[in-house]
Structure 1
Amino acid sequence: MTNDYLDLLAYFGIGGAHPGGFALTKTILQAENIQPTDAVLDVGCGTGQTAAFLAERFHCQVTAIDNHPIMIEKAEERLKNNNPPIQLIEGDAENLNFADDSFDVAIAESVIVFTNISKTLNELARVLKHTGRLIIIEMTAEQNLPEALQKEVRNLYGIQDILTEDQWISRLQQAGFTKIEMLEVPSTLSPSELDDINQSNSIQTKFYDLWDKHHQFLDQYNHFIGFRIFKCHLSS
């Protein structure tokens, strides 16, 4: 099933397109005690920006997956000379091809909302070790959305559900996460400029139009749509 918004991100090759951008990613991860022996899963890795940072900053064992072949191509280009090497896989977040208890840390940045949320959370709980943790940055409804706005969000982003904070916590608990923290966005954080771009040739006009619609939507409905950062453990 195609998703024009995800195709847009792939064709433009935008790194750090998630809420808060790469500046937020670095702030979150630098506060984590990630060890060189840790196995880290980057779900929906895009062009590999976060995966590269994880490997370079922590020298940990990074596995990065994405289900978009163009994203994989651009991640391969970024990561081809990475040291330590990163395992890059074209894969499906809803059906992870990893054994149970494989990872110490998993991170997903504006990824899960584009999938069947419950399936993906169940899979992430399965592949995480019992002592592991999940960090997610996800689009969140600031209040219950009117039906017309819900329809607009679904059509624009090709998503099934946009959850409130409480609904995210409920889904995480249903997947088996028993300790759920909500991380604060630092007040000093400056929004990242979109300066990490690896643009494809011959992009269709409809994707430029969709990018404009995306920004217009954010400007118009920013009081309805926000994001949350959750840090989750399977055991307290």
Structure 2
Amino acid sequence: MSNAYLDLLAYFGIGGAHPGGFNLTQSILEDESIQSNESVLEIGCGTGQTAAFLAEQFNCQVTAIDKHPIMIEKARERFKNNEIPVKVMEGDAQSLDFADDSFDFIIAESVIVFTDISKTLHELSRVLKSDGSMIIIEMTAEKSLPEELQKKACSLYGIKKIINEEEWIVHLQQAGFTRIELLNTPSELIQSEINDINQSENINENLYVLWDEHNYFIHRNYHYIGFRAFRCHLA
């Protein structure tokens, strides 16, 4: 099923569109000790900004997947132009085409909320090695959302529900993650600076309207909706 907000990100080719932006990604990954012989998976890789950083920073084996064909095209363009050895492929986070225990490290930045959360987390648990780790950054309800606001968010972003921190932790536990660390990050879902864009030609005017709606929604409802970053382990 098509998602207009994800189409927006794809056609505008926005890197670091997730909460906190690429600066947050870099600050979080600075604390990771990924080895060059380790395998890394990024789901919902978008245009490949984080995957490229992982490959360059740690010289590790990076696999990047996304469900949107335009995102895949732009990620491949990035990796080719910069000669970065990232394996990029189209794939569904809810049904990963990888064997059990395939990856040492997994990262997902504002991806899981756009899927069936339980299905995706169980898949990530399945393909993560028992001694591996996973980092997720996800939109989170700061307090109980009025029904109309929840409906508006679901309509705007094409999601089922914005859940709170405790609900994220329950979902993670149910998927098999036993050690869940809440990373110390700003929680506000503010518009981060965008300086990585690979814009398509002939963008539908409706996507410009949607971008304005998104910015207005975030600005108006920042006290209801934020984000959390978790580091998760299976054992």
**TM-score (structure 2 length as normaliser):** 0.96
Q: Report deviation, 1:161.
A: 1.7
**Higher mean displacement: 192-201 or 38-47:** 192-201
Give the counterpart letter for 2:18 in structure 1: H
Q: Secondary structure at the match of 1:32?
A: coil
Give 1:63 shift: 0.2
Cα distance, 1:186 vs structure 2 = 6.4
Instruction: Decide whether the 8 Å contact of 2:191 with 2:218 is kept in 1.
Output: no
Residue 150 of structure 2 is matched in structure 1 by: 150
Q: Which amino acid aligns with 2:141?
A: A
User: Are 1:40 and 1:61, in contact at CA under 8 Å, matched by a contact in 2?
Assistant: yes
Instruction: Tell me which residue corresponds to 1:45.
Output: 45
Deviation at 1:144, TM superposition (A): 1.4
Amino acid at match of 1:162: I
Deviations 1:54-95 (A, max 9, x none): 000000000000000000000010001555511101000000
* Count of aligned positions: 233
Gaps of 5+ in 2: none
For residue 115 of structure 1, what is the aligned residue in structure 2? 115
On the 8 A contact 1:13/1:198 being kept in 2, the answer is yes
Deviation of 1:119 after TM superposition, in Å, equals 0.2
Distance 2:185 2:117 in 1: 23
Partner of 2:135: 135
Look up the match of 1:171: 171
Instruction: Tell me the CA shift for residue 124 of structure 1.
Output: 0.1
**What does residue range 10-159 of structure 1 map to in structure 2 within 5 Å?**
10-83=10-83, 85-159=85-159
Residues 191 and 30 of structure 1, relative CA distance in 2, 3 Å threshold: farther
SS in 1 for 2:14: coil
Contact 1:105 1:133 (8 Å CA) reproduced:
yes
C-alpha separation in 1, matches of 2:103 and 2:163? 26
Look up the SS of the partner of 1:132 in the other structure: strand
Equivalent residue for 1:206? 206
User: In structure 2, what is the Cα distance between the partners aligned to 1:132 and 1:82?
Assistant: 28
Instruction: Give me the whole-angstrom Cα distance separating, in 1, the residues matched to 2:183 and 2:60.
Output: 23
Tell me the amino acid that sits aligned with residue 18 of structure 1: H
User: Contact between 2:17 and 2:192, CA under 8 Å: does it hold in 1?
Assistant: no
Please tell me the root mean square deviation across aligned C-alpha atoms, in Å: 1.4
Q: Which amino acid aligns with 2:117?
A: I
Tell whether the 8 Å contact from 2:135 to 2:231 is kept in structure 1 after alignment. Answer: yes
The 8 Å contact of residues 55 and 83 in structure 1, kept in 2 or not, is answered as: no
Query: What letter matches 1:19 in structure 2?
Result: P
What is the CA–CA distance in structure 2 between the aligned matches of 1:102 and 1:80, rounded to whole Å?
A: 25
Partners of 2:137 and 2:73 lie apart in 1 by 24
Tell me which amino acid in the other structure corresponds to 1:104: D
Q: What residue is the counterpart of 1:9 in the other structure? A: 9
Return the offset for 1:101: 0.1
Q: Determine the C-alpha separation between the residues in 2 that align with 1:186 and 1:82.
A: 32
Are the aligned partners of 1:56 and 1:83 in contact in 2 as well (CA < 8 Å)? no
Q: Percent identity?
A: 66
Q: What is the CA deviation profile of residues 157-192 of structure 1, one whole-angstrom value per residue up to 9, with x for unaligned ones?
A: 0001211000000000000000000001169xx975
CA distance in 2, matches of 1:231, 1:193: 24
Deviation at 1:8, TM superposition (A): 0.1
